[in-house]
Amino acid sequence: GAGVSQSPRYKVAKRGQDVALRCDPISGHVSLFWYQQALGQGPEFLTYFQNEAQLDKSGLPSDRFFAERPEGSVSTLKIQRTQQEDSAVYLCASSLAQGSLNYGYTFGSGTRLTVV
């Protein structure tokens, strides 16, 4: 597609529920990033894929967070046993280049997760 597509746009989860957030990057983009943006804060890095390989997951806040990109295109961020502190906007970004920012990122509109 023309941009990075994320779904759902909004998700309300009860505490303890598992959620799955989807990211459809721009076709052909090798690099894919997930960020978490809490209210009033800047985005914070969660994890990075180059094709299907997860090269950096240092930003994942706990082992309840898991991301995958099995075929090197669509990615899913899964949060198990959600807690209130997981409430945030989850942003996905993709980039044409590998490990280079010469092309910059294209960000999706994000998924706003609210845990009640």
Partner 1 sequence: AQSVSQHNHHVILSEAASLELGCNYSYGGTVNLFWYVQYPGQHLQLLLKYFSGDPLVKGIKGFEAEFIKSKFSFNLRKPSVQWSDTAEYFCAVSPTGTASKLTFGTGTRLQVTL
> Is 1 a residue that touches partner 1 (CB under 8 A)?
no
Cα 71 to Cα 87: distance, rounded to the nearest angstrom = 28
> Is 4 a residue that touches partner 1 (CB under 8 A)?
yes
Site for partner 1, residues 52 to 91, rule: CB under 8 A = 55-56, 59, 91
Q: Which of 108, 111, 113, 115 binds partner 1 (CB under 8 A)?
A: 108
Positions in the binding site for partner 1 (CB under 8 A)? 3-4, 31, 33, 35, 40-45, 48, 50, 55-56, 59, 91, 93, 95, 99-102, 104-105, 107-110
